Amino acid sequence: MTSATRFPRIALVGRHATPGIGAPLAVLADFLISRGHRVVVDAATAQHASLSGYAAAAPETFAAAIDLAVVLGGDGTMLSLARQLAPFDVPLVGVNQGRLGFLTDIPVREMTATLAAMLDGRYVEQRRTMLKVAVERPDGRSDLGLALNDVVVNRGSIGSMIECAVAIDGRFGYAMRADGIIVATPTGSTAYALSAGGPILAPQLASLLLVPVAPHALTHRPIVIADDASIAVTVIHGRDAAAHCDGQGRFALAAGDRVVVERADHRARLLYPEGHDDFATLREKLHWTATPEELRKGGG
C-alpha cells in the first residue's frame, strides 16, 4: 500500500501566532502533494500565515472528509484540533512549533523525513482517553464540553478560594476549600496536573486523576481512579468560579452549579514515529538526565 493510498486526504493546521509558520507549511504541503496526497489547509491557518495556492477549509468542514491531520504548532493547537476531530476518528500527527511539546514531538527540521517514513507505514498509534463534561445548572440548563488533557474547576481572578463537593459514581467523596480541582486524563497528567503536584500516568492506563489545587487542608492529596467513573464537582461557594476544558473552553460557574466529568465515547488517535518511547519523551522534555550545569548551558 502506498502512502497516498493509506492516507489519501491530509489536512494541515498551524499555530496562528507562530512567526514565519507559512514557510514550513508550504514546504509540507508541497511535499505531500508530490507524494500524491490531496491536501487541504485549515482556512484560519492559511489566512494568518498568508498562505495561498492550496485548498482551504475550516475543520468543521473537512473533519469528515480527511484521513489524517498534521499539526504544526504546540500542544495547545493539538488539543484544539483533537477535540474537533476525535468524533470523526481522524488520526493526528504533531510537528513541534511550540515550546515543550509532549503531543507535538516531531522537530520541524526533521518533519519531511519523519513524515515520509510514517506515511509509508512506519509509525505507532496511541488512542488517548478524552473527557466529556456537562455543566448542570439548578434551573435545568446545561452546557457541554470536551477535553483531552483536563477539566478544571477553579476560582476566578477576583475571588478567594472556592468551596466544592466532589462525588464519585454518585457517592460523596469529600468537600474542600481550594483554588480549584483538576480532573485529568493520563495525557493531561503531564500538564496542569503535574504543576499542581499530581503523578504522571502512563498514556495506556485506564484511569483518571483528581488533583486539588492549593487546598486549604494539606491532607487533600491527588487520587487516581478508574476511567469509567463519573465525577461530579458541585460548587458550594465561589466568586467568579469557572470550569475550563483544556484551558481553552470556559464555562462560568455559580453556587449550586454541578460539573459532571466522564470518559468520552470516543478517543483521540495520535500517530508517532516508529520506535516512539513515552519514557524517552519524559526524559527529554523534563530534563531528567540533565545536570543543573547542563540545563544552564542549554537555557533550560
DSSP string, 256-287: T-EEEEEE-SS-EEEEEETT--HHHHHHHHHT
pLDDT band at residue 255 under the 50/70/90 scheme: very high
136-169 burial string, b = 16+ CB within 10 Å, else e? beeeeeeeebbbbbbbbbbbeeeeebbbbebbbe
3-state secondary structure of 55: strand
The pLDDT of residue 2: 55
User: Is 240 or 152 the better-scoring residue by pLDDT?
Assistant: 152
Query: Whole-prediction pTM value?
Result: 0.91
Q: What are the angstrom distances between the C-alpha of 69 and each of 132, 203, 243, 268, 295? A: 22, 21, 28, 12, 34
Identify the DSSP state of 73.
E
Residue 79: CB atoms within 10 A of its CB come to 25
CA distance 20 to 27: 12
The pLDDT of residue 232: 98
Q: Where are the beta strands (DSSP E) in 33-149?
A: 38-42, 55-57, 68-73, 91-96, 106-107, 123-128, 131-136, 142-147
The pLDDT of residue 16: 77
Taking residues 91-114, what's their average pLDDT?
88
Residue 3 has pLDDT above 60, yes or no: no
Domain with CATH 3.40.50.10330 in the chain: 3-128+267-298
CA distance 298 to 245: 33
Domain with CATH 2.60.200.30 in the chain: 131-263
The pLDDT of residue 102: 85
Class assignment of domain 3-128+267-298?
A: alpha beta
Residue 94 has pLDDT above 90, yes or no: yes
pLDDT band at residue 50 under the 50/70/90 scheme: confident
Q: Which three cell numbers stand for residue 209?
A: 486523576
**Please, what is the average pLDDT of the chain?**
92
Residue 1 has pLDDT above 60, yes or no: no
Q: What are the angstrom distances between the C-alpha of 229 and each of 55, 199, 290? A: 43, 19, 38
| 155-205 per-position pLDDT tens digit | 987 778 999 999 999 999 999 999 999 999 999 999 999 999 999 999 999
Looking from the CA of 229 toward its CB, the CA atoms found within 13 Å total 23
Q: Which residues contact residue 292 at a Cβ distance below 8 angstroms, ignoring those fewer than 6 apart?
A: none
H or E element at residue 294: helix 292-298
Q: Enumerate the active-site residues.
A: 75
3-state secondary structure of 188: helix
Antiparallel, parallel or unpaired: β 55-57 and 38-42? parallel
Taking residues 29-45, what's their average pLDDT?
95
- Asked if 150 and 292 count as a contact pair (C-beta separation under 8 A), the reply is no
Q: Which three cell numbers stand for residue 211?
A: 488533583
| 151-163 per-position pLDDT tens digit | 999 998 777 899 9
Residue 298 has pLDDT above 80, yes or no: no
- Asked if 12 and 29 count as a contact pair (C-beta separation under 8 A), the reply is yes
Per CATH, the number for 131-263 is: 2.60.200.30
Residue 99 has pLDDT above 80, yes or no: no
The pLDDT of residue 15: 86
34-48, 99-113, 273-287: which is most confident: 34-48
**Residues forming a β-bridge with 106:** 95
The pLDDT of residue 158: 75
Taking residues 102-131, what's their average pLDDT?
94
The pLDDT of residue 299: 57
**How much of the chain exceeds pLDDT 90, in percent?**
76
